[in-house]
Structure 1
Amino acid sequence: MIAYVAASYSKDGYRGADLTRETYEEIRKEVRSKTFSQLTTGKYRETVFADPSSLEQQIPFFSIRVGYIELIRLLKNIGLSYAKATYVISAIFASLSVFVLGLIILKTAVPIGILPVVVAVAGYTELAALSTPDAMACFFSLIGIYSLMTGGRLVFLIAAFLPLIRTDFMVLSGLLMGYTYLHGNRFISLFSILSSVSFYILINKLHDNYGYLALFNFTFVGSLTPYPADIVISHKAGDYLIPYALLLENLIFHSHSVIYVLSAYLLWLKRDQIKVDVNFYCLLGIPFVFNITHMLLFPTTHYRFLVFSISLILVWSLSLLGKPDRHEKIGRLMANSSLGQ
């Protein structure tokens, strides 16, 4: 919340002590005093709170979420504070995401009554409460998948503009357009992915983003620095391997790992009856590759990045569980034949 409120006020032209004052005064009004205390204590948070230069240096990490920031500012014009707008947007888009997920389920053999279970397991309720653009990214990702499943043209527009919501979701743009390119829509697929890449480069350039290595070092190497503009990029291989070792350890105990194991087991167990069609790619192939790629680029298992994809993988697994295997079908035919005699 602090970062996105600050990014919004920075967009309004506030700098230095004025930016700090406007940001923290608004957040103080929005959260409980105990929460505000937690947000401003500790070495890192206390420095960001006390030094306007430190707060300004955090902004390039967050101002690149252009769609989210502009929507926050739009809601300010209709009476919401920036702080309140951050989670109102999440609540709205998480709800819309559930609706689109329901439409996707209707395209499968999974009963629509299973929707609340998928929503709870995947983490949509938690996503709705965050002051981040993740619910917004989830919604547009699901819209892109649904458009692909139904043969719609909206997928090309979604793929082009996903980096405006979350720059890392350019990975999904590439996967969506890779599928459409291989299935005949070559010109528009290339145009869409080139637009996505162009937006990605332009956004990072205009907002003076520190770059991928700076973000990786800031997040995973050493302790958080309140002055990321001065961060020193590590050249030690071990500093880059440790986050992946921790990632593997976290995956073992992560609740979503059960879904990964289940889908892999079903993929092997029912390989003879799996139809490799658009639903297979939309519900398993693209989401699974997205998750793997995202974790390789940004080694964390935090659910908020992967809610849309893990929910689709779960829907695919449930649809496969509902299908009788070949031996069961033969047994039923024989039983019916015997009864007929």
Structure 2
Amino acid sequence: MFTTEFPDSPDKVRELTFSHIKKEAPADQYNNLIGVKPWAIARQYFAKNTQSFTEQLPYFQIKIGYVLMITLFYKLGLSPPMSVLFTGFISYFISGVLLFYILKLLFPEKYILAALLTAGIMFMPTITFMAGESTPDMFIFLFILMFVIGLIKKWGQWRMFLLLLIMTFIRPDYITFALTYLGAVFLFDYFTEKKIDIVLMAQGIVILSIYVFVMRFYNYPGWVDLFYDSFIHRRPIISAQPAHVSLSAYLQVVYSKIIAFKKVTLAVSVMIGLIFWMSKEARVRMISVLFLGNVYIKFFFFPQSADLRLFFPFIFPIFIMTLYVLSQKYNNTRLSTIV
């Protein structure tokens, strides 16, 4: 945000960033941010060295939609740290409303059930954690919920495309979700209706082109650099040391992280099993497998298994699909009883 306001003053951008955080953050959190521990060398560089700090910015600048929302609240009068927190809080509130609406679609006339489920879900530790973090995860979660509404109500392909485009602007790594969804629908239509949908192909090309443009415009370092800095060695100055990730190093990281991913694997396996057991509808199965696939696509690109917020936006729709097939079974049983 400050880079847009002061594009030719990187020193000022760094100073403003840390000074605003220092004013409002608790002392222990600020000390953790600037790296007071001897081993936190990279964080010490980020706080004191403008080149080091500036080279980290592309990791965040590419999240255009999230930055724009923070900037909006900043222009409305909130301080920079509060703009970040308020984005999470307002996203949390809207997500709760959307979730209640989804549950009302699944269980018509069951207001108490929908309200209780909404309250129970929204107070889950993962969701409350996402709401308080300075990340776009809570913000994008509300668009995932909109996307689920679109799936349930069978919105047209252009409305779904718009949501995919917005999500890619908020978190460009959601390009994998956007392309896999478009590809899955394309193949589903081809095998079930024997038609080739050129519109879906064009939408995929548009989203991919925008993604490439954003990456190049902000000089994004790339996946290898992100993986190296996240799992192998956090470089104080990116340009001073090239990143290299061998296949052996990558597999070692994945192996060590996938063991800690076993609870997620168990949970999604149970939900997918229930969906396939209770529903023979091909479209429901396809959508469920799509979200399952994206859980593991995300993992293999960025295997931070301890950070559930990264995977939750893909896990939760599988839970909603489980509720969907349960609701279909309940509604059919109720209809048969009435008849």
Q: Is the 8 A contact 2:130 2:309 kept in 1?
A: yes
> What residue is the counterpart of 1:33 in the other structure?
27
Q: Does 1:240 align with 2:250?
A: yes
Measured at CA, do residues 60 and 121 of structure 1 come closer, stay the same or move farther in structure 2, by a change above 3 Å? same
What per-residue deviation string (whole Å, max 9, x for no partner) do you get for residues 33-76 of structure 1?
A: 23212211222211111111111111011100011112211211
Number of residues paired by the alignment?
314
What per-residue deviation string (whole Å, max 9, x for no partner) do you get for residues 127-152 of structure 1?
A: 11011111121111221232132121
Measured at CA, do residues 185 and 29 of structure 1 come closer, stay the same or move farther in structure 2, by a change above 3 Å? farther
User: Percent identity between the aligned chains?
Assistant: 18
> What residue is the counterpart of 2:17 in the other structure?
23
> What residue is the counterpart of 1:152 in the other structure?
155
Determine the C-alpha separation between the residues in 2 that align with 1:141 and 1:200: 19
Structure 1 stretches of 4+ with a deviation exceeding 4 A read 318-325
Measured at CA, do residues 201 and 323 of structure 1 come closer, stay the same or move farther in structure 2, by a change above 3 Å? closer
Taking the TM superposition and a 5 Å limit, the aligned residue runs for 1:93-172 are: 93-108=91-106, 111-112=113-114, 113-121=116-124, 123-153=126-156, 154-172=159-177
Could you list the runs of 5+ residues in structure 1 that have no partner in the other structure? Answer: 1-7, 337-341
Q: CA RMSD in A?
A: 2.7
Measured at CA, do residues 265 and 235 of structure 1 come closer, stay the same or move farther in structure 2, by a change above 3 Å? closer
Measured at CA, do residues 76 and 274 of structure 1 come closer, stay the same or move farther in structure 2, by a change above 3 Å? same
Determine the C-alpha separation between the residues in 2 that align with 1:176 and 1:227: 37
Q: 2:301 aligns with which of 297, 301, 323?
A: 297
Q: Which amino acid aligns with 1:78?
A: L
Shift of residue 22 of structure 1?
0.9
Q: Secondary structure at the match of 2:106?
A: coil
What per-residue deviation string (whole Å, max 9, x for no partner) do you get for residues 186-214 of structure 1?
A: 23322222221011101001001011111
Q: Which amino acid aligns with 2:218?
A: H
Measured at CA, do residues 107 and 92 of structure 1 come closer, stay the same or move farther in structure 2, by a change above 3 Å? same
What per-residue deviation string (whole Å, max 9, x for no partner) do you get for residues 94-151 of structure 1?
A: 2222322333333335942323333344722111101111112111122123213212
Could you list the runs of 5+ residues in structure 2 that have no partner in the other structure? Answer: 190-194
Q: Secondary structure at the match of 2:57?
A: helix
Q: Is the 8 A contact 1:160 1:192 kept in 2?
A: no
Q: Does 1:262 align with 2:278?
A: no
Determine the C-alpha separation between the residues in 1 that align with 2:129 and 2:11: 33
Shift of residue 80 of structure 1?
1.0
Determine the C-alpha separation between the residues in 1 that align with 2:273 and 2:161: 33
> What residue is the counterpart of 2:192 in the other structure?
none
What per-residue deviation string (whole Å, max 9, x for no partner) do you get for residues 213-250 of structure 1?
A: 111111122x2112123342325322111221122111
